[in-house]
Structure 1
Amino acid sequence: MKEYIDSGILEVFVMGVATDEEVKELMYMKAKYPEVDDALRQLEADMEKLAANMAITPPPGTWDRIEDEINDLIRRENFVQPVKFRTDHGHNGYEKAAPADQFIPIESESNHMRLHKSWRWVFAAVFVLGKIFLGFAIYFYLENRQTQQQLQELKTEIRELKKK
């Protein structure tokens, strides 16, 4: 069981990059062996602690500014009048009669946003880099934890040697 737990399958599963076969195998081992379940729970708890320790608190007043912006949008939405056009002389025979700060409500059949094809590669690259950095963060976290355990063992050994 120790070899299975140390094989890295738990880390792969927690990062979300395990294959279907690895997930099935892990679920089987988790159900059959409580050590695997305990190790998985410990790893998930460690990942939550890592995320909590790395979290950055927003500056004071951020929530108030967000709330004010939302309230302002709601107030503006209630007072928006549709833009009216009149058939006077203009570029296409139409001239805009409403002020420039008015919005024209538009309904669309699709809720999907269209992007230029070059942006798809940028988003894909950012996604891949994010996964790579996440992998490095987990790796270095686990290495740090292992080093701290080894350091604690060495301290214990030094104390025992001093007592003799």
Structure 2
Amino acid sequence: MKKYIDSGILEVFVMGAATDEEVKELMYMKAKYPEVDEALKQLETDMEKLAGEMAISPPPDMWEKIEGEIDGLIRRENPAQPVKFRTSGDGHKYKKTSPEDQFIPIESESNHMRLHKSWRWVFAAVFVLGKIFLGFAIYFYLENRQTNQQLQELKTEIRELRKK
């Protein structure tokens, strides 16, 4: 049982990457052997703790900004054109915001950049083209090396013929 638990199948299952056959086998083992069930529960608890420790909390005033945007969408004047509103200090009066105030500034500790989904295809195409060009470069390098070897052999043969 220890060997089965240490095989990594529990981790694969918890991550959601197990095949249907592996899931069936694990469910059978879990029902039959309480140590497998206990190890699975412990692994799930550990993963939940890890996810909780790695979670990034949003800035403290983010909920108020989101709530203000939702309120602005609800109280728009022209249903065809969405209009942004901002609450005044007392919270009851709404006024239109200027175009530069229509974006919510977000503070983040992450250095990752988010891109529009259409750019993913562009990056995928560039990646594939890069691999194709790499393949051609390797091919022509090997061809050049082989040609140079043949040229050296021909030069050697010509020298030997001249000596005779």
Q: TM-score, normalised by structure 1?
A: 0.49
For the pair shown, the structure with the greater C-alpha radius of gyration is: 2
Q: TM-score, normalised by structure 2?
A: 0.49
